[in-house]
A and B are shown apart, each in its own frame.
Chain A
Amino acid sequence: MPSPLRAAFLRGLAASLPFVLVIGPFGTLFGVVATGAGMTVLETMGFSVVVIAGAAQFAAVQLMQDGAPLVVVIFTAAAVNLRMAMYSASLAPHLGLAKLWQRALISYLLVDQSYVAAITEFTRNPDRPVAEKVAYFFGTVSLVVPLWYLSTWGGAAFGKAIPPDLALDFAVPIAFLAMIAPVLRTPAHYAAALVSVGGTLALWWMPYSSGLLVASAAAMVVGALVETLWEKRA
């Protein structure tokens, strides 16, 4: 690899280091929870390799345990990933001219951590050549994604050693709340979260957990509206 590319790759790698601390425990937890719910190690790995999106994977497990039907599980878990379209749109001006296979691989590897690291760098240095930006992106994922696979496998393979009387059913809600709470910052965040909770509880009578989808759509609109109003006021 020519040295400017290697340097960009290494800078991406360094930027991803703080995320390594978070990914390991989350992957392990997914492995433990998925096998605890009755999946085999292969099926658990299927989720982490084919989907690589922690929040959507946990959502799928929760909904399966709630007894939601297949179609509802697929679409609700995919709805958790709608933000990926926003990531894709915001990276396109920087990476849109890369080769098709590179863009396909980048898309597969586009996770929260690689997006945050990459967009921070591209916003700071918008004029670097596309090849360097691509190298930087691949740097941000080359530790985080293998660690995601490995920690999932570790949790799945060794999770059976955990005593069954521990309240493991509650690991998923705690993991979700711990993803959301640190980023609860603005009034718009609080408004979206409140509508999401209130709406889902009020619509719990709707069949097949479908109230969650309705409440989520309402919460998205409320979040965006509150942000717009807040900006106008400021």
Chain B
Amino acid sequence: MSPDQLPEIIAVKWKLWTLIVALGALTFALRFSFLGVIGARPLPPMVLRLLRYTPMAVIPGLVAPAVLWPAATGGETDPVRLAAAVMTVLAGVITRNTLASIGAGVAVLFGLPLLLG
């Protein structure tokens, strides 16, 4: 990849390192939040419940535009990428296994174009 195609944050070094340090500091703060304070009062159950849903609330939305409108095809929906995403989810739900899920998705991503010629 030539430098002029790089995402801006990766090309501008101070921005990239600000991201790394800030994300590291915020993540540490979240991890240290209760362990750091002796005798911390337990969180209300509703707050714990909300926090438990963060991966399920953030990650599907993060992925959805990349599945439907991939930047690599200029935003055109690509049947191969879409099929690979669907297979990844199906395999994950059926096998309950992350590696099997990745394997199924990758097999479709690289196998389907070969089948279709």
Question: Which residues of A are at the interface with B, using a C-beta cutoff of 8 A?
Answer: 21-22, 25, 36-39, 43, 46-47, 50-53, 55-56, 59-60, 62-67, 70, 73-74, 76-93, 95-97, 103-104, 106-108, 110, 166-167, 169-170, 172-184, 188-189, 192-197, 199-201, 204, 212, 215-221, 223-224, 227-228
B88 vs chain A, min Cβ distance (A):
4
User: Which of the listed residues A50, A66, A77, A173 has the most CB atoms from chain B within 10 Å of its own CB?
Assistant: A173
B96 vs chain A, min Cβ distance (A):
5
**CB pair B19 A70 closer than 8 Å:** yes
With A200-B64, A219-B61 already in contact, 17 other A-B pairs whose C-beta atoms are closer than 8 Å: A39-B10, A50-B20, A66-B65, A73-B9, A81-B54, A86-B43, A92-B34, A93-B42, A96-B35, A97-B38, A110-B31, A169-B72, A184-B93, A217-B57, A219-B60, A220-B53, A223-B52
A110 vs chain B, min Cβ distance (A):
4
> What are 27 A-B interface contacts by the 8 Å CB criterion?
A38-B11, A43-B17, A46-B20, A47-B23, A59-B59, A59-B62, A67-B7, A74-B18, A74-B22, A86-B43, A86-B48, A88-B30, A97-B38, A103-B35, A107-B32, A166-B110, A170-B72, A172-B66, A192-B53, A196-B56, A201-B64, A212-B62, A216-B54, A218-B57, A219-B58, A223-B57, A224-B50
**CB pair B70 A73 closer than 8 Å:** no
Residues of A within 8 A of B80 (CB): 167
- The answer to the question of B6 belonging to the interface, with a C-beta cut-off of 8 Å to chain A, is yes
Q: Using a Cβ–Cβ cut-off of 8 Å, how many residues does chain B contribute to the interface with A? A: 81
Residues of B within 8 A of A180 (CB): 55-56, 59-60, 89, 92
Residues of B within 8 A of A88 (CB): 30-35
A94 vs chain B, min Cβ distance (A):
10
**CB pair A89 B110 closer than 8 Å:** no
Q: Chain B at the A interface: mostly helix, strand, loop or mixed?
A: helix
The one of B26, B96, B101 in contact with A78, judged by C-beta atoms closer than 8 angstroms, is B26
Residues of A within 8 A of B43 (CB): 86, 89
Residues of B within 8 A of A50 (CB): 20-21, 23-24
**CB pair B49 A227 closer than 8 Å:** yes
Q: Which residue of B lies closest to A226 (CB)?
A: B53
With A73-B9, A174-B109 known as contacts, the answer to whether A104 contacts B57 (CB < 8 A) is no
Residues of A within 8 A of B95 (CB): 182
With A50-B21, A89-B43, A173-B67 known as contacts, the answer to whether A223 contacts B30 (CB < 8 A) is no
